[in-house]
């Protein structure tokens, strides 16, 4: 029997726990907790690809970069994305490798710094919405960035002024063949961190851009490309709910694409929260995928075994 492949998308926020500052020691400990149930899938014989968010981590890098701008050159967003892919990938791969060595598994783990192609004409570039980096007290502080680098700046909920960037849709994963080859050779892969580094095709040459690709959409695309058996989205809740946080809230065990569309039209899923996860799930299923599971990190193993989680089918 051929092994089953699971793409497991881990949220960046689950690597910095509530109430913590996000020190590297804290993040490493969070990785240990988060990856624990993914390791159980490896024990069950699954081929596993782990993707992860990087929002808080990129934010920290941009804040550090801005604070030190008079001492060292600032860090562009695409490079900050690459930094977090390397840093988080290193922590995740080390935690898994240590576990495998301890249990005498002769299995390799690899982190792939992944570029994801977006359309330079994507409408999102004309309407940037994702706040990134530090807050500024006045708009005047940013005049130079607005004029010379084309920054788009908004006032953020009375807390100050902040840069916003586009969130274009992912079209292709440049390293997909490498990832496929590694999986087929039973290597555990960490890839498409933070949705991947957004690049555009500029007259035949790839070029990084200041943007944020939704991690769940990029993970869905990867799951499609490698024909994964399971696309698992790890998030802050054990199950998806309709009428969330209301007296008539209902947890969903199983739903299909038609029901997803109905719940979306009824406004059950929040735009910056559950909606992109549901849309990414539907995309995977519409492109030939068979199984999507949405659940919390500690319930991943139980969910794959049908004991919990929300299961979405075609």
Q: Which of these is catalytic: 13, 29, 201, 256?
A: 13
Q: Which of these is catalytic: 3, 130, 169, 239?
A: 130
d(CA 114, CA 174): 7
**Cβ neighbours of 219 (radius 10 Å):** 31
Range 269-278 contact pairs with CB under 8 angstroms and sequence separation of 24 or more: 269/240, 270/244, 274/235, 274/240, 274/244, 276/214, 276/216, 276/217, 277/216, 277/233, 277/235, 278/240, 278/312
Q: Is 277 a catalytic residue?
A: yes
Q: Which of these is catalytic: 277, 283, 289, 309?
A: 277
CB neighbour list of residue 53: distance below 8 Å, 6 or more residues apart? 9, 10, 11, 12, 13, 14, 15, 194, 195, 215
Q: Is 236 a catalytic residue?
A: no
d(CA 291, CA 279): 14
Q: Is 4 a catalytic residue?
A: no
Helix (H, G, I), strand (E, B) or coil at 243: coil
Q: Which of these is catalytic: 12, 53, 59, 195?
A: 12
Task: Tell which residue, 187, 186, 174, 188, has the closest CA to residue 51.
Answer: 188
Q: Which of these is catalytic: 37, 60, 81, 215?
A: 215
Q: CA separation (Å) from 292 to 32, 195, 273?
A: 24, 18, 17
Kindly tell me the sign of the dihedral angle through the C-alpha atoms of 179, 125, 142, 206: positive
For the annotated catalytic residues, the residue numbers are 12-13, 130, 215, 277
């Amino acid at each position: 029997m051929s092994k089953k492949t699971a793409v497991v998308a881990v949220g960046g926020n689950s690597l910095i726990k509530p109430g913590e500052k996000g020190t590297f020691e804290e993040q490493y400990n969070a990785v240990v907790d988060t990856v624990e149930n993914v390791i159980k899938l490896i024990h069950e014989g699954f081929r596993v690809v782990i993707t992860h968010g990087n929002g808080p981590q990129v934010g920290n890098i941009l804040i550090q970069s801005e604070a030190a701008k008079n001492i060292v050159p600032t860090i562009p967003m695409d490079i900050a994305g690459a930094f977090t892919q390397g840093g988080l990938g290193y922590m995740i791969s080390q935690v898994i490798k240590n576990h495998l060595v301890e249990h005498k598994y002769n299995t390799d783990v690899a982190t792939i710094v992944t570029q994801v192609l977006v359309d330079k004409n994507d409408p999102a570039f004309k309407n940037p919405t994702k706040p990134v980096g530090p807050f500024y007290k006045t708009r005047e502080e940013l005049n130079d960035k607005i004029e010379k680098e084309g920054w788009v700046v908004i006032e953020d909920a009375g807390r100050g002024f902040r840069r916003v960037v586009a969130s274009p849709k992912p079209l292709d994963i440049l390293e997909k063949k490498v990832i496929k080859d590694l999986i087929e050779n039973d290597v555990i892969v960490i890839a498409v961190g933070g949705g991947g580094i957004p690049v555009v095709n500029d007259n035949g040459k790839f070029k990084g851009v200041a943007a944020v690709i939704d991690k769940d959409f990029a993970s869905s695309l990867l799951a499609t490309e490698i024909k994964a058996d399971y696309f698992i989205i790890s998030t802050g809740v054990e199950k998806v709910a309709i009428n969330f946080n209301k007296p008539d809230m209902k947890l969903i065990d199983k739903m299909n694409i038609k029901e997803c569309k109905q719940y979306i039209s009824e406004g059950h899923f929040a735009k910056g929260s559950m909606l992109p996860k549901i849309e990414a799930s539907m995309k995977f299923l519409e492109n030939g995928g068979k199984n999507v599971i949405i659940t919390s990190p500690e319930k991943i193993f139980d969910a794959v075994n049908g004991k919990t989680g929300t299961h979405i089918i075609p």
